[in-house]
Structure 1
């Protein structure tokens, strides 16, 4: 992977569904977007604006219809499925609104799952890294517990540790606090900021919560499949205007 240039670079990206059919619809209309290494970005917009589609394209979960997408300097739109899977595993971490932990696995086993899926086994070093990450997210005493024994906020912390276990340069978080109460939401978001500050991990966070969006460093608003606003945030409570 190249270490020069932006982490994410999209040029004239369009996404259509049902191409060639009477029901064809275009969801993204020529997106130009860059994210630098180590940025902490909020992606906002009304329902149906294309946020999830854009995040899925950035996360290599969906293919763009036209345009170009470079991730870590590599043109991923030209990769076959196997190459995309390998790129996804080594470049990206994911945190979703629903934690998607396996209920029969302990917290430690859930965090080591990416290594198990990638290599078919979990090494002693990988298990130790999982322990370190769980300790870093405040779950040193809960490694042997299963998801049903943890609160919602604790479950999401396990999911965050799992997203970081492969040490990705970019974490994509889709409404990571959407199912949490205010106190747990604040704690999880503070953890994401801490990880960003300590590790230099880049984050792109989809959120409907303007209070959390203002705590990011950059605000990108998507409206009707186009970037309507892209601006730095000058600190909590001092955004140029309330996220619409």
Structure 2
């Protein structure tokens, strides 16, 4: 059993139903137990409809679970109101999606600072410098002031990764972060995630359909029909 101080997330008997009380009520997560430790680099895999996105949304405080217990950095979050959930999400979690969701009228550095603007209402020179340092760290030193339309798909996803890191989250949730990229760009982006993990100790949960990428994670959790079918450590020779 892990030391409690090492646990970032504890999920106990988590259930999620949609259309509750209606004739078409459907339970999509059936009593999941899952711990995420500090420093985990986890792949979340499973067939379409297995509940991966729902689970990621619950962990990301974007959806509420129907039943169960969720402890995030020692705090039970199920009792928090919407404002409390928003504050916890901003302070603890970063998000990378399959589609980068960059604002086309904003430069790369302006896109990276957006979470700060939303949280604090202004961008200080310190924040902008931090954003530029992150863009340099993801290999975009020469593209900081370019707009998304001037960047390749892989470069746009690198901007999205820098944006996910700007608030120094303990955990980054990446939902098919390479799903919209060609193989070469996909490998580059995944290698970048691994290097961030190694250098910063940031925890990652990566949803992927690519078994090649899953095999390069440290842990694989497989969902099937709303239940965890496998949770194993990946040996790296």
TM over 0.5: yes
How many angstroms apart in 2 are the aligned matches of 1:206 and 1:43?
A: 5
Return the offset for 1:4.
2.2
How many angstroms apart in 1 are the aligned matches of 2:159 and 2:94?
A: 13
**Are residue 200 (structure 1) and residue 201 (structure 2) matched?**
yes
Corresponding residue number in structure 2 for 1:220: 221
Write out per-residue CA displacement over residues 192-219 of structure 1, whole angstroms, 9 at most, x where no aligned residue: 0000000000000000000000000000
How many angstroms apart in 2 are the aligned matches of 1:57 and 1:222?
A: 15
Return the offset for 1:32.
0.2
How many angstroms apart in 2 are the aligned matches of 1:232 and 1:216?
A: 9
Structure 1 outlier segments of 4+, above 6 Å: none
Q: TM-score, normalised by structure 2?
A: 0.98
Write out per-residue CA displacement over residues 85-126 of structure 1, whole angstroms, 9 at most, x where no aligned residue: 000000000000000000000000000011111111001111
Corresponding residue number in structure 1 for 2:212: 211
Corresponding residue number in structure 2 for 1:241: none
**Mapping of 1:148-227 within 5 angstroms?**
148-227=149-228
How many angstroms apart in 2 are the aligned matches of 1:169 and 1:199?
A: 10
**Mapping of 1:55-204 within 5 angstroms?**
55-204=56-205
Corresponding residue number in structure 2 for 1:8: 9
Corresponding residue number in structure 1 for 2:36: 35
Point out where structure 2 has 5 or more consecutive residues left out of the alignment: none
Corresponding residue number in structure 1 for 2:53: 52
SS of equivalent residue, structure 1 residue 78: coil
SS of equivalent residue, structure 1 residue 153: helix
Counting matched residue pairs gives 234
How many angstroms apart in 1 are the aligned matches of 2:111 and 2:193?
A: 19
How many angstroms apart in 2 are the aligned matches of 1:23 and 1:35?
A: 32
How many angstroms apart in 2 are the aligned matches of 1:205 and 1:72?
A: 19
Return the offset for 1:5.
4.5
